[in-house]
């Protein structure tokens, strides 16, 4: 009798223990699910907060740039790229144009300067426009286009120098594209109406009385609500008319 009673009590205790264990497991699962759901919600809130902070930060950068009250990292980067663009035009393009356009028999200095300036304008357009898009063509395509103009593309200096300049221009455009606020090239409506302080002359030291004739390289402009011009346009300046020509 005692053994039977003990067995019954033990069985009842085991049943209650199993029931409690099962209930605890169920509650634990519910708690774990609740914790996991809470973590997901916290992650979502954190992402939303970060997006808001990023938006406010970007807007602050734009406002600062537009108002001119500060020089942001983006602005500084554009200044660097604008200086690189100016250097490529004034140094690399100028050097390549001299190789492409040797002086022809009977060609005076003024005609040579104008012809080189026209090729420089063509080369700037091929290398840098549109500035806010990656380079789409290949160097050999540009060389072929220049060759069709009967330019001296087969000289050793040009064959060596042009790929280097092409690579610099491609990297410059990639850098502009990668910025949150991009840049562009902007051409003045009428270069002949510009004052001497509003452009960079080509040649660098024009003769007294020289006048702006046509655009070679547009200005580098940083976009925004208030676009900022970071370089002056490069303009070919024609020598003054010879005395008595009436031109």
Percent of the chain past pLDDT 70, that is, above it, reads 70
DSSP H or E segment with residue 124:
helix 109-128
Per-residue confidence (pLDDT) for residue 72, from 0 to 100: 77
The answer to whether the Cα torsion of 144, 146, 152, 156 is positive or negative is negative
Mention every residue, 6+ apart, whose C-beta is less than 8 A from residue 186. Answer: 218, 219, 221, 227, 229
Per-residue confidence (pLDDT) for residue 222, from 0 to 100: 94
Sites in the chain below the pLDDT cut of 70: 1-13, 17, 19-22, 24-32, 34-71, 241-247
Per-residue confidence (pLDDT) for residue 49, from 0 to 100: 47
Per-residue confidence (pLDDT) for residue 36, from 0 to 100: 64
Per-residue confidence (pLDDT) for residue 30, from 0 to 100: 62
Using an 8 Å Cβ cutoff, are 236 and 212 in contact? Answer: yes
Q: What is the pLDDT of residues 50-103, one digit of tens each?
A: 554 444 444 544 554 455 544 578 889 999 999 999 999 999 999 999 999 999
Per-residue confidence (pLDDT) for residue 52, from 0 to 100: 47
The answer to whether the Cα torsion of 57, 61, 63, 69 is positive or negative is positive
Cα separation, 148 vs 178, whole angstroms: 34
Cα separation, 118 vs 184, whole angstroms: 21
């Amino acid at each position: 009798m005692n053994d039977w009673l003990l067995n019954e009590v033990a069985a009842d205790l085991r049943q209650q223990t199993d029931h409690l264990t099962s209930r605890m497991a169920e509650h634990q699962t519910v708690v774990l699910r609740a914790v996991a759901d809470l973590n997901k919600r916290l992650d979502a809130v954190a992402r939303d907060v970060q997006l808001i902070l990023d938006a406010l930060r970007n807007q602050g950068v734009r406002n600062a740039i537009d108002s001119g009250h500060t020089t942001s990292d983006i602005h500084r980067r554009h200044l660097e790229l604008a200086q690189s663009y100016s250097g490529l035009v004034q140094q690399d393009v100028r050097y390549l144009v001299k190789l492409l356009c040797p002086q022809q028999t009977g060609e005076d200095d003024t005609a040579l300067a104008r012809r080189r300036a026209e090729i420089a304008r063509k080369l700037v357009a091929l290398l840098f426009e549109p500035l806010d898009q990656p380079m789409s063509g290949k160097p050999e395509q540009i060389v072929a286009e220049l060759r069709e103009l009967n330019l001296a593309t087969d000289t050793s200096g040009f064959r060596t120098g042009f790929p280097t300049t092409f690579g610099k221009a491609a990297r410059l455009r990639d850098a502009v594209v990668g910025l949150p606020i991009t840049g562009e090239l902007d051409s003045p409506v009428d270069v002949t109406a510009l004052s001497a302080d509003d452009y960079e002359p080509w040649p660098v030291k024009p003769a007294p009385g020289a006048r702006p004739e046509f655009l070679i390289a547009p200005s580098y402009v940083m976009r925004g609500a208030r676009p900022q011009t970071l370089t002056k346009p490069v303009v070919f300046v024609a020598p003054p008319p010879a005395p008595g020509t009436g031109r």
